[in-house]
Amino acid sequence: MAGNLSIHDLDDDVIVRLKRRAAQHGRSVEAHIEFDRLATDLRKRAAGRPQTPAEVLQREGRDER
């Protein structure tokens, strides 16, 4: 579901920082805000759960071949 977000009366400095941060990650401001929201949600959902390091998963994948 796509949508639009309008925020009024933001400080110009905040707008500049948002645009700069989005550009550093190669995204539009809207896409960057959405990504941050999704990443925050994922971190909250994964908090407290045991995590397997990527190198362990890679090793296991190679060993299965």
- The full DSSP string for the chain is --------S--HHHHHHHHHHHHHTT--HHHHHHHHHHHHHHHHHHTTS----HHHHHHHHHHH-
At 64, the pLDDT band (50, 70, 90 cuts) reads confident
| Cβ–Cβ under 8 Å, residues 22 and 29 | yes
Q: Could you tell me the pTM of the whole model?
A: 0.53
Q: What is the pLDDT of residues 7-59, one digit of tens each?
A: 788 899 998 998 999 999 999 888 888 898 999 999 999 999 999 999 999 99
